[in-house]
Amino acid sequence: METRPSETRPSYDPTCYLCPGNERANGARNPKYTGTYVFENDFAALLPDVDVHPPNRHPFIQHEPVRGTCRVLCFSPRHDLTLPQMSVEEIRGVIDCWSDETSELGRKYRWVQVFENKGQIMGCSNPHPHCQIWASTAIPNEPLKEHTHQRTYWKKNKKILLREYARYEQRKRERMLLENDSWTVVVPFWAIWPFETLLIPRRHVVKLPDLSEQERNALAGILKNLLTRYDNLFQVSFPYTMGWHGAPYGTKDITHWQLHAHVYPPLLRSAAVRKFMVGYEMLSEPQRDITPEQAAERLRQASDRHFTLERK
């Protein structure tokens, strides 16, 4: 059992490093922004200029320098609003910002990772709604696995792996959660986290900037629906890690890629019981606490009207 986090926050916090007009930890001051706001992370894990040492190619120990940059994207000037509490139009502004940043950073870096850690138990140190964007000269391990497996499936079948999987789930309906003309949301068969979901465009799209106007509008709507259902499940601001995977830049053959987003929420049975990756799961392989079919059914039954609005 864990202590249930406090959900009462003001619309503006004079001590918050991310609120408009406030001073950040490094002494820089935020502008009085009224929409989305992006800035270079004051404590970046990746730097654009690093000492270039010769790579170590020993068969046991291999390393090479990686250059990059880290940015922070504030979703809104409001300190108390999360994505599911924002309007569809406001979420669309966030999607456009994701796309613009990905396009700009992709001109210089091979991989651009957009991700949000929501909630204190997911390691988010500042409750002001925001995400991060890390770009690097190397493709990280997890997307590299996806790159390899999607390419292998394409070479063998001349079909897009995730599009074929989405069609399979649409036929079966057991793990389907949400769908519209442009997007499919499913609890994947291989889900490890209790209420893990996968967002897949219905059209073949390789990168975030390639989304059409219609697809961006539809994404804003389905994201609000999905994240609202998460909050309604236990009537709490549902913590999660969410991130986008699209084709890497600087790679000629990306036909096999399909843009998608992963959502990994840790809450298991209530607002105060979470899943941990320990013991057998770290030493052998992950195990499921509930089936993906059960998770999909629980989320389908949750309302798409945010629980805080019901109290008013």
pLDDT in tens, the chain (312 residues): 555 556 678 999 999 999 999 999 899 999 999 999 999 999 999 999 887 777 777 889 888 889 999 999 999 999 999 999 999 999 999 999 999 999 999 999 999 999 999 998 998 889 999 999 999 999 999 999 999 999 999 999 999 999 999 999 999 999 999 999 999 999 999 999 999 999 999 999 999 999 999 999 999 999 999 999 999 999 999 999 999 999 999 999 999 999 999 999 999 999 989 999 999 999 999 999 999 999 999 999 999 999 999 766
What pLDDT score was predicted for residue 125?
A: 85
Would you call 100 helix, strand, or coil by DSSP? helix
The C-alpha atoms of residue 191 and residue 184 are separated, in whole angstroms, by 16
Which of the following is catalytic: 53, 63, 128, 130?
Answer: 130
Q: What is the pLDDT of residue 310?
A: 76
Domain 37-51+61-303: give its CATH architecture: 2-Layer Sandwich (3.30)
- For residue 312, the model assigns a pLDDT of 61
Give strand pairing partners of 178. 185
Q: What is the pLDDT of residue 73?
A: 98
pLDDT score at 57: 78
pTM value is 0.94
Phi, psi for residue 8 in degrees, rounded to 5: -90, 115
Predicted pLDDT of residue 56: 78
CB within 8 Å of 149: residues ≥ 6 apart: 161
Q: How far apart are the C-alpha atoms of 204 and 200, rounded to whole Å?
A: 9
Question: What pLDDT, on the 0 to 100 scale, is given for residue 51?
Answer: 75
Task: Say if residues 85 and 113 touch (Cβ distance below 8 Å).
Answer: no
Residue 50: per-residue pLDDT: 80
Beta strands in 3-109 (DSSP E): 37-40, 56-57, 62-63, 68-74
130 part of the active site: yes
Angle at 7 (CA atoms; ends 3, 10), nearest 5 degrees = 140
Q: Over the range 193-231, which residues count as b (16 or more CB within 10 Å of their CB) and which as e? A: bbbbbbbbbbbebbbbbbbeeebbbbbbbbbbbbbbbbb
Give residue limits of the domains in the chain: 37-51+61-303
Per-residue pLDDT, 192: 94
242 DSSP β-pair partners: 116, 263
